[in-house]
Amino acid sequence: MKATILVVEDEKHMAVSLSTLLSPEYQVATAETGSAGVELATSKSVDIILLDLMLPDISGIEVLKRVKNADPAPEVIVITAVRDVKTAVEAMKLGAFDYIEKPFDGEELLLTISKALERQRLSREVGGLRAELADAYGHNTMVGKSEGMRRVFEFIERVRDIDCNVLILGESGTGKELVARSVHYTGSRSHYPFVAVNCACFPENMLESELFGHEKGAFTGAEKRRRGRIELAHTGSLFLDEIGSMSLAMQAKLLRVIEFKEFERLGGENTLRSDFRVISASNADMKEAVATHEFREDLYYRLNVASICIPPLRERRSDIPLLVEHFLVRYYRKTGRQVRGLTDSAMNRLIAYGWPGNVRQLQNVLDSRFQTPRELRHALEPLVFENLGAMDVEVEEIPEAPARKKKIKAPRRRAHRK
């Protein structure tokens, strides 16, 4: 499909020349006044606007301001006489892509249009990816209708646009990182990085390098400079999972960074700044850790500006059928194999079970059940379901339609005339 270019030009011969130049590659519309140009740009889908600054009714600057409010906003290339270069620079400050001086070279204009279209394509692609991330991690895609999950959804709504630190508590497998991503991708920092670190995965010396980064030669094996997660999270969110496992020494260093938004790379002398929101999570009892001096009280209050505890699955059993349906749909999207659902007896067993591993365990059980070949299911059943027992969790699968065989018609025999 050809891109659409709107030419806003009051000189007829110039408008005709531009239409002749552009028509072979693009769809071209013209407007002789600024008001007509704004009307076309806001009522129709326009990709590029070639805008003359000197118009009979309103200025090109005013046209630029109005069309930039369109959704999606077109890229604007200003066409100006040499004496209006200062105004053209002002137009670029207001969001114009570029300006071309009259008289212009046709090849130069076509190249500028091509660059503008490429930037527009990338911008829309990035916008689409951001929208997908918001959809993927928005609380509207989180599953649950229980009272506990309603409180989680209300919490996300309340804190997502408030630039405060968030502490998420809950047992392993309850979905703490999913809540953290939802807070980020639906909030005011959604256009900026979400950087996650599992503090329990690193020894203390490696965690310090992971968070703060290091300079070349800072320690054995540091062959080049490396930016840390704190630096990478600038303008975005830093998610510190299993924050309770962090040593007291690291807690003191993290406290300073959170308080002053300043840090130094390992082996570095320069003080760097990073503006980020801290979202932390833990499966431990943080108040107990503070009481036993395993976690700094001052850091706890810095992290715990707003907090939520995600309920374990055993406390929201009414959500289990919804979760099963959610995982069935995801399985279908991933494999193309349709599953009608679990039998009533199997669903009752799932609802009655305690799920010490919470939602993650439920997902793993269902995934292994759906993806394990039929001949191995009986042997694996006791291992997969553990305390559920070697029960027969039946899955009603919709058989795939067999491929139709083409009928080959036998050629007709021609009767030989005697």
3-state secondary structure 81-99: CHHHHHHHHHHHHCCCCEE
Let me know: does 214 contact 265? Beta carbons within 8 Å: yes
Beta strands in 208-320 (DSSP E): 213-214, 226-227, 237-241, 262-263, 272-273, 277-282, 306-309
For residue 261, give Cα distances in angstroms to 162, 264, 281, 291, 361.
18, 11, 20, 27, 38
The Cα–Cα gap between 231 and 206 comes to 16
Length of the chain counted residue by residue: 418
The Cα–Cα gap between 256 and 239 comes to 17
Which amino acid would we find at residue 225?
R
Which amino acid would we find at residue 160?
R
Placement of tokens 């499966």 in the chain: 283
The mean pLDDT of 258-280, rounded to a whole number, is 94
Q: Which residues pair with 5 in a beta bridge?
A: 28, 48
For the segment 168-198, what is each residue's pLDDT rounded down to a tens digit?
Answer: 999 999 999 999 999 998 888 988 999 999 9
The Cα–Cα gap between 346 and 392 comes to 8
The whole-number pLDDT of residue 394 equals 46
Query: Could you give the domains of the chain?
Result: 4-130 (3.40.50.2300), 138-306 (3.40.50.300), 314-397 (1.10.8.60)
The whole-number pLDDT of residue 339 equals 66
Q: What is the dihedral of CA 358, 152, 322, 188, to 10 degrees?
A: -110
> 340: which DSSP letter?
E
Separation of CA 384 from chain center: 33
Exposed e or buried b per residue across 248-257, where buried means at least 16 C-beta atoms within 10 angstroms of its C-beta: eebbebbbeb
The mean pLDDT of 124-129, rounded to a whole number, is 64
Q: Confidence class of residue 136 from pLDDT cuts 50, 70 and 90?
A: low
Helix (H, G, I), strand (E, B) or coil at 266: strand
Let me know: does 169 contact 310? Beta carbons within 8 Å: yes
The Cα–Cα gap between 79 and 162 comes to 43
Helix (H, G, I), strand (E, B) or coil at 155: helix
The whole-number pLDDT of residue 336 equals 73
**Residues whose CB falls within 8 Å of the CB of residue 222, separated by 6 or more in sequence, listed in order:** 209, 214, 215, 216, 266, 267
Helix (H, G, I), strand (E, B) or coil at 213: strand
The whole-number pLDDT of residue 10 equals 87
The Cα–Cα gap between 365 and 36 comes to 62
The Cα–Cα gap between 281 and 303 comes to 10
Q: Confidence class of residue 120 from pLDDT cuts 50, 70 and 90?
A: confident
Which amino acid would we find at residue 64?
L
Q: What percent of the chain has pLDDT over 90?
A: 48
Number of H helices, E strands in the chain: 16, 16
Higher pLDDT, 125 or 132: 125
Let me know: does 41 contact 7? Beta carbons within 8 Å: no
Q: Confidence class of residue 278 from pLDDT cuts 50, 70 and 90?
A: very high
Minimal CA–CA distance to 79: which of 58, 56, 55, 62? 55
The Cα–Cα gap between 311 and 331 comes to 25
Minimal CA–CA distance to 266: which of 217, 201, 198? 217
Q: Is the pLDDT of residue 229 over 80?
A: yes
Query: Residue 44 phi/psi, 5° resolution?
Result: -125, 165
Minimal CA–CA distance to 8: which of 70, 74, 82? 74
For the segment 298-336, what is each residue's pLDDT rounded down to a tens digit?
Answer: 999 999 999 999 999 999 999 999 998 888 888 777 777
